[in-house]
Amino acid sequence: MATAESEIYRLPEECVAYAISLTTPGDACHSSAVSPAFRAAADSNAVWARFLPPDHADVLARADEPVAAVGGASKKELFSSLCDSPVLLDGATMSFGLDRQSGAKCFMLSARALSIAWGDDPSCWTWTASPPGSRFPEVAELVDVCWLEISGKLSLSLLTPGTTYAAYLVFAMADDAYGLECHVGMPPPKATVTVSSGGGTTTSSNKTPTPAPAPTVAEHAICLHHMQGEEEAAAHRRKQQYVRLRRGYGIGGGGARKTTVLTTTREADPDIRCPRRRGDGWAEVEMGEFTVAGDEGDAAVVEVTVQEVDSRRWKRGLVVLGIEIRPKQHTAGGMLAL
């Protein structure tokens, strides 16, 4: 057995590197601990060039600032840098990074890249400088609206084929926030993830036009103002919520307005998504997931939307940094040391 184990160390470094390149970035990191020979192979450009997306140079050409090592010495350093410090693109309206475990591409749309209902009306939204350490230079802060609608769109061709992604609204709450709480009993906001071909018709191999596939839509209830742990989240999803509406309907004796109180009861949505604190200090809530097959075509897009349009309550204090799209079941920022 010892002889068989020792034989692997006789393989040329390029053979070991090729075998490691067929695994994952996480496996490559672990294999470097096997021996000095494995470490040399696992750290080689040949391995990490395979883990970098084929179009990474094209994406990085859109970077706001030049990125070191795009065509240079260490592909591992470039990979690690993109995992730890996403690069700003297109005038700081988008960021690009990599998932440390899989090497899949991650994108985040800044608040400026989103479509925000009444976002240009200073009586509804204000644009301010981001807190120090934030990914983007500015944020959108909700001043006062009763109709909340925020959406973003991204081409599927930018994402990694064969990957299941999730979309997250990244936000914070101002100290004077109101009207966004879950527990007051009003219907919670809805998050929608829609994947569409982006075109009206497609052409088959025999050049016959056919209708484009119908968009796939996933919808979830989300909570924006209720940070909690797993046990609290489960209790929050189970409990009943009560709606009490005071309605004036006339003037009574002495000039006093008469009111009536309408009380209804409904079950909370068992699938409600609650926010979590990120490592960078912001909060995020999952809006939904989708899978990129890789054959959707250049016009295919994913559109994510959060809206609360029928609650009849005014809202204030939501601070939006952006919408992040990253592989499902991976936390924001990896944990493997490269």
Q: What are the structural domains of the chain?
A: 88-198+216-230+260-327 (2.60.120.260)
Report, as an integer, the average pLDDT of 271-286.
90
The confidence score (pLDDT) of residue 45 equals: 73
Q: What is the pTM of this model?
A: 0.78
Q: From CA 305, how far away is CA 189, in angstroms rounded?
A: 10
For residue 297, the model assigns a pLDDT of: 78
Predicted confidence at residue 250, as pLDDT, reads: 39
What average pLDDT does this structure show over 116-124?
A: 96
pLDDT at position 309 is 73
pLDDT of residue 15: 64
Residue 25 in this model has a pLDDT that exceeds 80: no
**Tokens standing for residue 72:** 């240079």
Question: What local confidence, expressed as pLDDT, does residue 243 receive?
Answer: 39
Percent of the chain with pLDDT over 90: 45
Among the listed residues 307, 306, 303, the one whose alpha carbon sits nearest the alpha carbon of residue 193: 303
Check residue 205 and give its pLDDT. 44
- Whether the per-residue pLDDT at 120 is higher than 50: the answer is yes
Give pLDDT tens digits for 128-142: 999 998 999 999 999
Residue with tokens 């209790």: 235
Task: Please report how many Cα atoms fall inside a 13 Å half-sphere around the Cα of residue 332, on the Cβ side.
Answer: 22
Query: In this model, does residue 67 exceed pLDDT 70?
Result: yes
Mean pLDDT of 23-42: 62
Please state which of the ranges 70-84, 182-196, 217-231, 271-285 shows the lowest mean pLDDT. Answer: 217-231
* Residues 31 and 48 sit within 8 Å (Cβ to Cβ): no
Per residue in 139-177, pLDDT (tens digit) is: 999 999 989 999 999 999 999 999 999 999 999 999 999
At residue 197, the pLDDT reads: 74
Segment of 94-98, 273-277, 325-329 carrying the highest mean pLDDT: 94-98
Type and span of the H or E element at 172: strand 163-178
Lookup: tokens for 163? 């990957």
